[in-house]
Every structure is written in C-alpha cells, then in structure tokens.
C-alpha cells in the first residue's frame, strides 16, 4: 500500500503545519490548565493531605477545610473514648487581620499542635520548625507569601492587633484566597480570645484501614453532640470539589477548555479542508479510476490522525516545559494521570472531528469536474 496520507503530510508539511500547531496549542492549553486547576484547587486540600490524621471532626456540613467553624469541646472526649483511636489533636482555624508596616490584609491562621509527634502538617513541618513555633507569638508563613505579607523571615507584624514574629518560611502552604499563617495552639488562642473552642479535631487510628468503620460507629454520637466526621480522603475531595464546582471557578475552567477545543478544531478543520481542496483534482482522478470514496475518506482521516498524534506529542512536550517553569516559580501545578489522559483524548477528538469536517470538502471533488 502506498502511504499517501503520510507522504503527503511530509511533502506538504508547510500546508499542514497550522493544523499541527493548532492541535499542539490546544493540547498545551488543556494540559497546563488542568495541571494549574489541580494544583490550585488541590491546595484547598493541603491541610488534609499533609496531615497524619485518618479522621477529621468538624462542624456539620462543612464543605471545605477553610470554612471551618467552632465545634463543641466534648468532641475530643467522644473521639478519645473510641478504642480504635490512638491520638486526638485539636486544630484551630481563624480568619484574622494582618498588619505589617503600612499594609493590612486578611489572612487565615492555622493554630496547630507543636509537639514532635503532632498530626497537623506532619508532611510539611520538620521538628526544628515545630520547635520554633513553640516560642510564644511566633508564626511561620509560605515563602511565596512573604512579599504579599510585607515581611521577611525574622520580621515582625500584627495579627488582630497582637504582635507576632515570623520565625521561618516554608514551601507548600500556598492556598486559594488569603495567605495562611501557622501558629501554635497557644498563640492562636491568644489571637482569638473571644472563641475558646476549636474548629477541628484530628484523629489518628491504630489501624488506618478502620477509618470508615469508626466513622460509622461514632456517627450517632457526633450527630447528637453537633459535629461531623469525615475520612481523610472524603474531606480532601470535598474541599477540592467545593472550590472547583461551587465557586464558579471550575465552571470558568470548563468553559475555557470548551473554547480552546472549539478554536483548535476550527483551525485544524480549516487547514485540513484547504489541504484536501488543494488535492481535489488528484482525489477526483483516483475516484475516476475507481478508488472508492470510503478509501479516500480514510486517507483524510489518517492525516487528521497523524496531526492529532503529532500535535499531542508536541503539546505534551511544551506542557512539560511550561510546568517545569511554573514549578520553578512556586506556581502550584499538579499532574493528575486521569485528567491528563482526558485532555489527551480531547485533543485526539479535536483532530478526528476536524478530519470528519474536512471530508465535506472531499465530497466536492467530483471526477466529472475534471473533464473540460
């Protein structure tokens, strides 16, 4: 078989280049956007993901970690009484006011246990940093937020009018919305003296695989007392979903993805149509010689397929470069295999749909039109 599709693609590469670039750019936009969304919205779950707890207790119906409200102090007792629970630890979430120099902004304060074996931010904080937090009125912030907060490590600021000192900066704390400031439970309590209760209790289990069973076992007591229990995975997913679906941000992202796909398909189909139109007489001659329309359609679809695969590879390469650049600038990006596969599939569908659209041009290549 003569590889007409492939040979024509290579021979007339200039003609097909816009389609390849359109597909590659679609792939780039979709992949980078997906990684950004994953990274940014995934940061909504950073509290849950970096903690060592298997169960979270919080205010009933809480839809995202950052929407925590105070719950009864007896929650701790209920959790501790369960034989499956090894350790319980409170976590305080405060909306606060930050002032440094002449600037002021809203922040979130995370009041956390500072013991070496503490659960909260287990994956994020080392023992040296926890020890620094034990000093009264000391706080830790994300390195990327330093500029926004108007301080440097060692500098001083005021939270809710109370003087604090930035003792360290770390990576991976950056989240949606306001900057997050870490403090010890004691410091946090002093920053919000009017509310003695905590927002969450974290539970570490003897057997992590029992999380769902213990959650079910404690559910009646939780309901009676006025708190709700979630497994770590469920709470993380809840937080991400809240940001993605209920803030409108997710909808905007999906809308943008559809626009990208449409524009990609439009450019690709136009290019393919022009290419088919350019070879109209040749296709018509083949048809006159008895090569069927179906066989000619396969040639066009094969070209669309090659453009799809080539564009996807180029797009993936560009995405890898873009994401590496993002990472080096502390922009939160995260690659999710399933979502990346979905993006890749969308790109191939763009190419295929463009190929199908270009078949219309092929239908116009009538062998009778070759006669003078």
Partner 1 sequence: MSLIEQAPTRALIEARGLVKSFRSGTLDIPALREVELDLFPGELTLVAGPSGCGKSTLLAALSGLQRPDAGSVQSLGQALWSLKPEALERFRLLSTGFVFQGFNLFGALSALEQVMLPLSYLKLSPHEVLARARAALDEVGMTPRATLKPAELSGGEKQRVALARALAKRPRLIFADEPTSALDAASGQRVIELLHRAARERGAAVLCVSHDPRLLSHADRLLHMEDGRILDDERRRPLGAPLE
Q: Which residues bind partner 1 (CB under 8 A)?
A: 1-2, 4, 7-8, 10-12, 279, 281-282, 284-293, 295, 367-368, 370-372
User: Are residues 230 and 215 in contact, defined by beta-carbon separation less than 8 angstroms?
Assistant: yes
How many other C-beta atoms can be found within 10 angstroms of the C-beta atom of residue 10? 11
**In the complex, least distance from residue 302 CB atom to partner 1, rounded to whole angstroms:** 13
User: Are residues 122 and 205 in contact, defined by beta-carbon separation less than 8 angstroms?
Assistant: no
**Closer residue to partner 1, CB minimum distance, 5 or 189:** 5
User: Are residues 350 and 261 in contact, defined by beta-carbon separation less than 8 angstroms?
Assistant: yes
**Closer residue to partner 1, CB minimum distance, 324 or 370:** 370
Scanning the structure block, which residue is given the tokens 């500029």? 147
**In the complex, least distance from residue 9 CB atom to partner 1, rounded to whole angstroms:** 8
Cα gap 40→192, rounded to integer Å: 28
**Closer residue to partner 1, CB minimum distance, 276 or 348:** 276
**Closer residue to partner 1, CB minimum distance, 8 or 75:** 8
**In the complex, least distance from residue 332 CB atom to partner 1, rounded to whole angstroms:** 46
Nearest to 107 by CA among 31, 54, 153, 164: 164
Using DSSP, state whether 341 is helix, strand or coil. Answer: helix
Cα gap 97→113, rounded to integer Å: 22
What's the sign of the alpha-carbon dihedral 301, 302, 303, 306? Answer: positive
Nearest to 57 by CA among 189, 203, 195: 203
**Closer residue to partner 1, CB minimum distance, 20 or 323:** 20
**In the complex, least distance from residue 10 CB atom to partner 1, rounded to whole angstroms:** 7
Nearest to 174 by CA among 203, 136, 147: 147
**In the complex, least distance from residue 296 CB atom to partner 1, rounded to whole angstroms:** 10
**Closer residue to partner 1, CB minimum distance, 4 or 149:** 4
**In the complex, least distance from residue 272 CB atom to partner 1, rounded to whole angstroms:** 16
**In the complex, least distance from residue 6 CB atom to partner 1, rounded to whole angstroms:** 9
Cα gap 366→353, rounded to integer Å: 23
The residue count for the chain: 372
**Closer residue to partner 1, CB minimum distance, 136 or 292:** 292
């Amino acid at each position: 078989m003569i590889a007409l599709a492939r040979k024509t693609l290579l021979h007339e590469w200039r003609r097909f280049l816009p389609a390849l670039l359109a597909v590659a750019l679609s792939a780039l936009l979709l992949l980078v956007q997906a990684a950004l969304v994953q990274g940014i919205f995934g940061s909504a779950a950073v509290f849950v993901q970096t903690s060592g707890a298997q169960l979270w207790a919080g205010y009933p119906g809480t839809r995202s970690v950052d929407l925590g409200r105070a719950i009864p102090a007896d929650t701790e007792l209920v959790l501790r009484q369960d034989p499956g629970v090894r350790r319980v630890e409170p976590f305080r979430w405060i909306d606060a006011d930050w002032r440094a120099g002449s600037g002021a902004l809203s922040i979130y304060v995370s009041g956390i246990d500072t013991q070496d074996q503490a659960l909260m931010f287990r994956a994020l904080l080392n023992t040296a940093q926890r020890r620094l937090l034990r000093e009264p009125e000391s706080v830790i912030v994300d390195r990327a937020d330093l500029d926004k907060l108007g301080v440097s490590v060692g500098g001083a600021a005021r939270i809710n009018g109370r003087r604090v000192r930035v003792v360290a900066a770390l990576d991976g704390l950056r989240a949606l919305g306001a900057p997050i400031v870490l403090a010890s439970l004691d410091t946090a309590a002093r920053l919000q003296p009017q509310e003695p209760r905590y927002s969450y209790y974290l539970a570490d289990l003897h057997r992590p695989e029992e999380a769902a069973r213990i959650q079910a076992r404690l559910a009646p007591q939780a309901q009676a007392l006025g708190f709700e229990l979630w497994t770590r995975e469920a709470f993380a997913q809840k937080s991400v979903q809240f940001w993605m679906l209920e803030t409108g941000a997710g909808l905007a992202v999906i809308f943008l993805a559809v626009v990208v796909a449409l524009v990609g398909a439009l450019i690709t189909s136009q290019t393919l149509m022009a290419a088919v139109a350019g070879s109209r007489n040749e296709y018509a001659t083949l048809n006159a010689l008895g090569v069927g329309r179906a066989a000619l359609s396969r040639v066009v679809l094969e070209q669309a397929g090659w453009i799809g695969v080539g564009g996807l590879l180029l797009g993936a390469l560009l995405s890898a470069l873009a994401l590496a650049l993002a990472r080096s600038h502390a922009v939160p990006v995260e690659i999710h295999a399933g979502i990346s596969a979905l993006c890749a599939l969308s790109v191939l569908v763009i190419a295929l749909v463009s190929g199908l659209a270009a078949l219309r041009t092929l239908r116009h290549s009538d062998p009778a039109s070759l006669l003078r």
